[in-house]
Amino acid sequence: MVFLGFQRKLRRRVAVKILPKTAEISDDDGRMFHDEAIVVAGFSHPNIVPVFEMGETEDCFYQIMQIVNGSNLETVIENQRKNPLPYKRSVPIRKSIALTLGVLDGLAYAHTREVVHLDMKPGNILIEEHSNRPLITDFGIAKTAQSKKTSRYIVGSPLYLAPERLNRQHVDCRADIYSVGLVLYELAAGTLPLATREATEVLRRKVNDPSSLFCMPPAEASPQIDTLLERIILKAISAEPDLRYRDCREFMHALKEYRRTLE
């Protein structure tokens, strides 16, 4: 749960993220919440929400974070989808690219510090209202070079999970690239043209037949996605990590080159 708080000593509003200590909260959950704060506290990047403080009481664990005035990208996409004019039901291409570049810049920073987010999705990207700046949040399941985390379970949002995570293969920064590629696809198309939205079936297709996940290619899903942008999206969301962009900088370079063709 996230609450609006007020830090009296510094006289500023903050976001207070709380994990209640209930019967459902395991030691691993508390450790992940603690590790997230430790990881992000060492970051300083305009596209990552900073953590100011953390701690715990008898009843909960908590983090004190910068408050972002705005909404998450999931809400932005949903609101855009409700536009009465069909051709305005997706985020315009230039804005989609600008938001994606900001997210990739933040991830590139994290990756150089050997941190892979592993749960990139529209709900974990906050959009600052006055600047349209995207900020990444929720590093709760991030993989770090020092991480000793092991789990019987695959944690994360089924739709945005990279296929190699489901196959328990080696995971690196390209898992985040896959997820951001899907976010870009969703931004530009307004919705992902999935063959199914049932979570278990989505996971099954990712493992057994990734090519069947979508019912149409990007260029058919939206008239504002041309063949050049389609090629960029398909490379980012390739089921095979070696066929994706090697890192966020290469992905950013491709998007910037594409943006020049729109001028």
Which of 66, 81, 104 is at the close of a domain?
A: 66
Distance CA 227, CA 118 (A): 28
The two structure tokens encoding residue 39: 């990881």
- Does one domain contain both 46 and 125? no
**What Rg do the C-alpha atoms of the chain give, in angstroms?**
19
pLDDT digit string (tens) for 179-210? 999 999 999 999 999 999 999 999 999 989 98
Confidence check: pLDDT of 121 > 90: yes
3-state class (DSSP) for residue 263: coil
- Does one domain contain both 24 and 129? no
pTM for the model stands at 0.93
- Does one domain contain both 167 and 236? yes
pLDDT band at 153 (very low <50, low <70, confident <90, very high): low
b/e 162-197 (16+ beta carbons within 10 angstroms → b): bbbbbeeeebbbbbbbbbbbbbbbbbbbbebbeeee
Q: Are 56 and 16 in contact (CB under 8 A)?
A: no
Confidence check: pLDDT of 152 > 60: no
- Does one domain contain both 145 and 253? yes
Mean per-residue pLDDT, 250-258: 98
Confidence check: pLDDT of 154 > 70: no
- Does one domain contain both 49 and 80? no
The two structure tokens encoding residue 229: 């942008």
CATH number for the domain spanning 39: value is 3.30.200.20
CATH number for the domain spanning 240: value is 1.10.510.10
Expressed as residue numbers, the domain containing 199 is: 70-260
pLDDT digit string (tens) for 213-241? 999 999 999 999 999 999 999 999 999 99
What pLDDT score does 148 carry? 52
Confidence check: pLDDT of 53 > 90: yes
Which of 66, 99, 114 is at the close of a domain?
A: 66
Closest CA to 100 of 61, 58, 47, 52: 47
pLDDT band at 115 (very low <50, low <70, confident <90, very high): very high
